[in-house]
């Protein structure tokens, strides 16, 4: 299949493009800038995504749209999450109405808001940040568009990604940056909250598997399916990378909107991955 990946040059996009190519599908990679970081096996299109009049034709009539493009994804209170929402809606609407029959988009567990326990596709959403509110609204709009145009609808709800990149705002990126600055201590919370952590390569592999099939549709958690204490995962990350840095526990309070224990129900993604292995 030919899969259009928007935001292909972003933190998630770079690895996902590679994983889709490795799965045997073609990729048209839409990038705003930094095209040099995208796998050269993809057909790379540097463009102003939302300014394209007929994106379906412009991108060569792809079989699948995987919409990753999203500004300020690590800045949860950025106004961009609300300001850009109409542009995302119009872009997806144009793609569906022009003939793209399989639409997938990246969501976030932050759509859920404050919740404790396992999240499945029926868990109520009460987002409490502009980021969560924006993603929540786009999910509902995308589902509506797909229903109106008889398209496959997939919403890939992402969880906490562990990756070796200093570019980003995750705790892991910040630790990498601190190590590069030769710091020996890192100020930290108590780290007792439990989250669903998934390693970056596995995250990308799961996304590629989801968009490469259409049997499983709707909301699909991209996750490990199990909770782990933040302190335990960060200590393990430091050990895995042989970093000479220690956590200073209790220096920061937990964010008020973070749940004490939250993880994804992985039953759907497990079905997909089992079929991939056959």
195 catalytically annotated: no
CA distances from 127 to 65, 136, 196, 209 (A): 25, 7, 18, 28
DSSP 254: P
Distance CA 146, CA 165 (A): 34
59 neighbors 28 (Cβ within 8 angstroms): yes
Marked catalytic residue, from 11, 58, 77, 131: 131
Distance CA 274, CA 182 (A): 43
250 neighbors 189 (Cβ within 8 angstroms): yes
CA–CA–CA angle 7, 198, 128 (5° rounding): 70
Active site residues: 131
């Amino acid at each position: 299949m030919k899969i259009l990946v928007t935001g292909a040059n972003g933190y998630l996009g770079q690895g996902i493009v590679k994983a889709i190519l490795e799965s045997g599908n073609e990729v048209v990679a839409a990038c705003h800038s930094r095209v040099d970081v995208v796998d050269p096996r993809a057909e790379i299109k540097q463009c102003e995504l939302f300014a394209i009049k007929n994106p379906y034709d412009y991108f060569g009539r792809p079989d699948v749209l995987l919409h990753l493009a999203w500004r300020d994804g690590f800045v949860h209170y950025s106004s961009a999450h609300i300001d850009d929402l109409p542009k995302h809606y119009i872009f997806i609407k144009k793609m569906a109405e022009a003939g793209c029959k399989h639409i997938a988009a990246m969501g976030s567990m932050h759509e859920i808001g404050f919740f404790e326990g396992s999240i499945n596709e029926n868990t109520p959403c009460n987002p409490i940040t502009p980021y969560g509110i924006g993603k929540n609204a786009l999910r509902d709009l995308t589902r509506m568009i797909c229903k109106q145009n008889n398209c496959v609808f997939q919403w890939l709800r992402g969880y906490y990604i562990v990756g070796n990149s200093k570019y980003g705002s995750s705790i892991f990126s910040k630790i990498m940056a601190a190590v590069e600055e030769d710091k020996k201590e890192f100020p930290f919370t108590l780290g007792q909250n439990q989250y669903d952590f998934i390693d970056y390569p596995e995250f990308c592999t799961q996304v590629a598997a989801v968009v490469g099939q259409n049997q499983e549709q709707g909301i699909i958690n991209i996750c490990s399916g199990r909770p782990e204490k933040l302190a335990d995962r960060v200590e393990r990350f430091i050990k895995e990378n042989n970093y000479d840095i220690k956590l200073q526990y209790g220096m920061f309070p937990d964010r008020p909107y973070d749940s004490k224990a939250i993880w994804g129900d992985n039953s759907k993604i497990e079905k997909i991955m089992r079929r991939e292995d056959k």
